Structures are given as structure tokens and as C-alpha cells.
């Protein structure tokens, strides 16, 4: 990263005047970092500072920053075929090849891909696939979507309604009708001594029975709840949930926007528990964030229903950029790199090592739990270890301390629940992060927590 950068005050001032940022509040944006370049797990800002990127930007830069192969793939495709419609009747080679590749990597019941350009759009599409499916099968009232508290599925209107972190709803309600939420499989915060996996799956069954199975289209679930605080379910949860979905004819949508493409040490997350969803949303890691791309993979059972439809019941869902050739070419180059460099296996091995490092911080009085899987990890902060009283506000102080030490860190703020939980520091470094950098993250986090306490 030897580029020459000049920090331009007028750029920051122009940003303040003209740009609305995600989750915008002027106070949060008063001293914004303006990123100018990146390499591997490092980001560089316009004022010449370097930071370790402990979240792969937004859980998406799986292969790490600055891979020239992806830039070359984008340039080559843009020169050959920049864009063309992929609406029915048209197609392009990168979209075809990437769909085939993803179907090959995903669960063995999967059959076809619909491409989007974001995680929220993938989930919006998944909800529509589910409703379409039941309407085609003569069950037009199966429209409801169940999600779990602490779930994050994006913030377009229906996706926001499935997202169950209340601060995303407060200023935008009401949520879309026919979306409801149940308890998450959150072992550290599960009330009572029972198995959180079985208990949380039974909460889904109760909701289905209460609503009436003939009204429920689908449940959407991240294999590991990411933005909600890297909540890893007990091994009992997904097998039991699959059983319940089968019993009541409810589709299981795996939201693998974070867990997809190697993040958890397998290509896709539900593989850890031997469970196959009916639909799988993906985005982020499919291009490692180099270009916006997402999609939904659907099972053969759903695909057949689309292929058999009469003309007046065709799948009238669309987007201009579905199957964008340049994004798909970058997706193919990204998967090639992951494959050739063994990044999925690396995520498992290095993830275990990284988590073992974070575990050494467990002795600090405010560290309630260290958890994770593959290259996903979290530290839940508490005020008191015995009672697990949630720490509120400590996370933001740790983040500020870490920033001073050259580490970009993200916190999921304490939430009232149910169940209530404390600030959670979340980690998802690039799968390619060198061991020394992972060790440095652990060291800085330890120092930052102690300084913040």
C-alpha cells in the first residue's frame, strides 16, 4: 500500500453535506474515516493510518482485500460484454457458469439460482419464492414468514420485518403484515436449564400451531445469527427445526448471507448440522464484496413447480441486474481463488486458533462468553459474570480503544430482547488473515477491554 494519499478537508466536508450513510446519525459520522486503499486484512484511510479489518469490512471480504485477479476478471468481462438483460429469453455465460458452480457447492437437494444484488433483495426474493410456491400448489393462504429474535435479514421493508432487532423498526414501522418472530436458539441467554436448541425449535412449532399451519409459508433462519451477536445454535436446533418444517409443510429458508462461501469453515453453514434448507439466500462472500451480488438457491422441489407453471402463473419476479455478467464473472473468479487456496479449510483451522486466542480473554471480569465457529467469533460483555447481567455501553468504549490501537472492531449493542443481552464484540476477519494479524487482534482486544473497564 504505497499509494500517496492526501487528506483533503474539503472531501470530509463534502461528505457531511451530500452523503446519507447507512444507519446515519450526524454524531456517529462527525469524524468519519475515509478509506482510500486496502490489502489483505488491512484498510488504509485518507489521513494515512492503517487499521486491521476484523470484520472483513461488513462480513463480506472473505478472500481479503486487494486481489488483482478479481479486478482483472471484472475488467475483462466489462470489455467483452458489459451488461445485457438476463430476463427470460436472454442469458449470459458468467451467470450460467456461476449458477452451475453454486448449485454444485450448495446442498445436494438444490437445483437453480436466482441472482440479486444484495442480501436484503435475496431475502425479499426468497419470501416471494415461498409465497409463489404455495399459491402454485393451491394454498394461497400460506403467506406468513416466521423469523427469530436477534435475526438480521436486511432492512428493505419485508426484510426489515423479518429482521428482529427492534432498533431497526422504531422509526420505520409498522412492519409488513404476516411477519412474526419467535425465540432464538441463544444458549448463553436461554431461560432455564433446558436445551436451547430443542426449546427454540419448539417455539417455532408453537407459533405455527398458533397461526395455523395453512397460513405459514416459511421460516427464515441464519445458520449462525451474525449481526445479532454471532449466536451459534446448539447442534439439536436445526435437525429439530427441519423435522417441524416437514411436519407442517413450512419451507425452511437458510439466510447464508454471512455464513455462505466458507465463513464458518464449510462452504455453507447448515452443513454443520447435516440439515438441508428448501431455499438459501446468499450475497456478501459470493464476490468477497468486490462487486454487489447476491441470490437465492432453490431446491429441486421448488424449481419443478416453477418449471411446470402455466403461462398465467409465471414467476413475475425480476430485477434489472439479476444475472449481471460482470458481477457473476467476479463471483466465479472469487470462488476459484477460494478453491485453489483452500480457504474454506483454512477458515476452520485458523478460526479454531483465533477463537482459542480470544478464549484467553475469558478471565477478564466483563467477558461473559467467547463463542463462534470457523472465522466467526464473538465476545459477549457482562457487568457481572455470575448473574450474566448485560453490559451496556462498554462495547462502544472498547471499540474506541481498539480504533486508537489500529483495529476496526464492531459491536452489537446490548438489547432488551427477549432475552435481554449485553454488548457483543463481533469478529469475522478475512479467511486469508495471517496468523500474526489474528494474534494481534486478540492482543488489541484484550488491551482495549482492560482500558475500557
- 376-384 vs 389-390, strand pairing mode: antiparallel
Judged by CB under 6 A, the residue of 258, 327, 333, 449 near ligand PLP is 258
| Residue showing the smallest CB distance to ligand PLP in the complex | 119
Shortest separation between residue 222's beta carbon and ligand PLP, angstroms: 5
Q: Does 223 bind ligand PLP (CB under 6 A)?
A: no
Tell me the C-alpha to C-alpha distance, in Å, between residue 357 and each of 116, 225, 383, 435, 439: 37, 22, 22, 11, 7
- Judge residue 32's burial from the number of C-beta atoms within 10 Å of its C-beta, 0-12 exposed, 13-18 middle, 19 or more buried: middle
Q: Does 152 bind ligand PLP (CB under 6 A)?
A: yes
Considering the complex, state which of residue 148 and residue 388 has its C-beta at the smaller distance from ligand PLP. Answer: 148
Positive or negative torsion for Cα 93, 94, 98, 99: negative
CA distance 33 to 26: 14
Shortest separation between residue 391's beta carbon and ligand PLP, angstroms: 23
Q: How many residues does the chain have?
A: 453
Q: Are 357 and 217 in contact (CB under 8 A)?
A: no
Shortest separation between residue 22's beta carbon and ligand PLP, angstroms: 8
**Cβ neighbour number for residue 273 with a 10 Å cutoff:** 18
Number of residues counted as binding ligand PLP (CB under 6 A) = 15
Q: Does 188 bind ligand PLP (CB under 6 A)?
A: no
Judged by CB under 6 A, the residue of 54, 56, 92, 118 near ligand PLP is 118
Judged by CB under 6 A, the residue of 195, 222, 278, 423 near ligand PLP is 222
Shortest separation between residue 225's beta carbon and ligand PLP, angstroms: 8
CA distance 451 to 448: 5
x-or-dash string of contact with ligand PLP, 32-61, rule CB under 6 A: ---------------------------x--
Considering the complex, state which of residue 115 and residue 388 has its C-beta at the smaller distance from ligand PLP. Answer: 115
Shortest separation between residue 124's beta carbon and ligand PLP, angstroms: 9
The residue range among 186-194, 250-258, 409-417, 441-449 that interacts with ligand PLP, by the rule CB under 6 A, is 250-258
Q: Does 331 bind ligand PLP (CB under 6 A)?
A: no
Shortest separation between residue 292's beta carbon and ligand PLP, angstroms: 8
Site for ligand PLP in 120-149 (CB under 6 A): 120, 123
Q: Does 227 bind ligand PLP (CB under 6 A)?
A: yes
Positive or negative torsion for Cα 429, 280, 419, 243: negative
Judged by CB under 6 A, the residue of 119, 223, 262, 430 near ligand PLP is 119
Q: Are 413 and 423 in contact (CB under 8 A)?
A: yes
Q: Which three cell numbers stand for residue 418?
A: 427477549
Judged by CB under 6 A, the residue of 219, 283, 305, 329 near ligand PLP is 283
Q: Are 192 and 424 in contact (CB under 8 A)?
A: no
Closest by CA position to 197, among listed 229, 238, 227, 228: 238
The residue range among 49-57, 199-207, 251-259, 324-332 that interacts with ligand PLP, by the rule CB under 6 A, is 251-259
**Cβ neighbour number for residue 313 with a 10 Å cutoff:** 13
CA distance 427 to 229: 9
Q: Does 344 bind ligand PLP (CB under 6 A)?
A: no
Shortest separation between residue 314's beta carbon and ligand PLP, angstroms: 26
Q: Are 149 and 418 in contact (CB under 8 A)?
A: yes
Considering the complex, state which of residue 53 and residue 255 has its C-beta at the smaller distance from ligand PLP. Answer: 255
Judged by CB under 6 A, the residue of 70, 252, 257, 328 near ligand PLP is 257
Considering the complex, state which of residue 285 and residue 357 has its C-beta at the smaller distance from ligand PLP. Answer: 285
Q: Does 245 bind ligand PLP (CB under 6 A)?
A: no
- Judge residue 22's burial from the number of C-beta atoms within 10 Å of its C-beta, 0-12 exposed, 13-18 middle, 19 or more buried: exposed
Tell me the C-alpha to C-alpha distance, in Å, between residue 131 and each of 123, 134, 245, 320, 332: 12, 5, 15, 22, 30
Site for ligand PLP in 82-101 (CB under 6 A): none
Measured at the CA of 376, the angle between CA 255 and CA 203, to 5 degrees, comes to 45
Positive or negative torsion for Cα 47, 48, 49, 55: positive
Judged by CB under 6 A, the residue of 40, 64, 154, 185 near ligand PLP is 154
Which residues of this protein are in contact with ligand PLP, per CB under 6 A? 59, 118-120, 123, 152-154, 222, 226-227, 255, 257-258, 283
Amino acid at each position: 500500500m504505497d499509494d500517496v494519499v492526501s487528506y483533503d478537508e474539503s472531501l470530509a466536508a463534502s461528505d457531511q453535506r451530500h452523503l446519507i450513510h447507512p444507519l446515519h446519525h450526524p454524531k456517529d459520522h462527525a469524524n468519519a474515516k475515509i478509506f482510500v486503499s486496502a490489502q489483505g486484512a488491512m484498510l488504509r484511510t485518507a489521513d494515512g493510518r492503517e487499521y486491521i479489518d476484523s470484520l472483513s469490512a461488513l462480513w463480506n471480504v472473505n478472500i481479503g482485500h486487494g486481489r488483482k485477479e478479481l479486478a482483472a476478471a471484472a475488467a475483462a468481462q466489462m470489455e467483452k460484454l458489459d451488461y445485457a438483460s438476463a430476463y427470460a429469453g436472454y442469458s449470459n455465460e458468467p451467470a450460467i457458469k456461476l449458477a452451475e458452480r453454486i448449485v454444485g457447492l450448495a446442498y445436494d437437494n438444490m437445483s437453480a439460482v436466482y441472482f440479486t444484488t444484495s442480501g436484503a433483495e435475496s431475502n425479499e426474493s426468497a419470501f416471494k419464492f415461498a409465497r409463489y410456491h404455495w399459491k402454485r400448489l393451491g394454498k394461497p393462504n400460506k403467506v406468513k414468514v416466521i423469523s427469530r429474535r436477534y435475526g438480521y435479514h436486511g432492512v428493505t421493508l419485508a426484510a426489515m420485518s423479518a429482521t428482529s432487532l427492534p432498533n431497526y423498526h422504531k422509526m420505520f414501522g409498522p412492519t409488513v403484515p404476516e411477519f412474526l418472530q419467535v425465540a432464538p436458539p441463544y444458549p448463553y441467554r436461554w431461560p432455564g436449564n433446558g436445551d436451547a436448541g430443542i426449546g427454540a425449535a419448539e417455539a417455532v412449532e408453537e407459533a405455527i400451531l398458533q397461526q395455523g399451519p395453512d397460513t405459514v409459508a416459511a421460516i427464515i433462519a441464519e445458520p449462525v445469527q451474525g449481526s445479532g451477536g454471532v449466536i451459534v445454535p446448539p447442534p439439536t436446533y436445526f435437525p429439530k427445526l427441519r423435522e417441524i418444517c416437514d411436519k407442517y409443510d413450512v419451507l425452511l429458508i437458510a439466510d447464508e448471507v454471512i455464513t455462505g462461501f466458507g465463513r464458518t469453515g464449510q462452504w455453507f453453514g447448515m452443513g454443520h448440522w447435516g440439515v438441508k434448507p428448501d431455499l438459501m439466500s446468499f450475497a456478501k462472500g459470493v464476490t468477497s464484496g468486490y462487486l454487489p451480488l447476491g441470490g437465492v438457491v432453490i431446491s429441486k422441489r421448488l424449481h419443478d413447480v416453477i418449471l411446470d407453471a402455466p403461462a398465467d402463473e409465471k414467476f413475475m419476479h425480476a430485477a434489472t441486474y439479476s444475472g449481471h455478467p460482470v458481477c457473476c464473472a467476479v463471483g466465479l473468479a472469487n470462488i476459484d481463488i477460494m478453491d485453489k487456496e483452500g480457504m474454506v479449510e483454512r477458515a476452520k483451522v485458523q478460526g479454531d486458533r483465533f477463537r482459542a486466542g480470544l478464549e484467553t480473554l475469558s478471565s477478564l471480569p466483563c467477558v461473559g462468553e467467547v463463542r463462534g465457529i470457523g472465522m466467526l467469533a464473538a465476545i459477549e460483555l457482562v457487568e457481572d459474570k455470575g448473574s450474566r447481567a448485560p453490559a451496556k455501553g462498554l462495547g462502544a468504549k472498547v471499540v474506541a480503544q481498539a480504533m486508537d490501537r489500529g483495529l476496526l472492531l464492531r459491536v452489537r449493542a446490548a438489547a432488551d430482547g427477549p432475552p435481554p443481552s449485553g454488548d457483543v464484540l463481533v469478529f469475522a476477519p478475512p479467511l486469508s488473515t495471517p496468523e500474526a494479524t489474528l494474534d494481534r487482534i486478540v492482543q488489541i482486544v484484550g488491551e482495549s477491554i482492560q482500558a475500557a473497564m
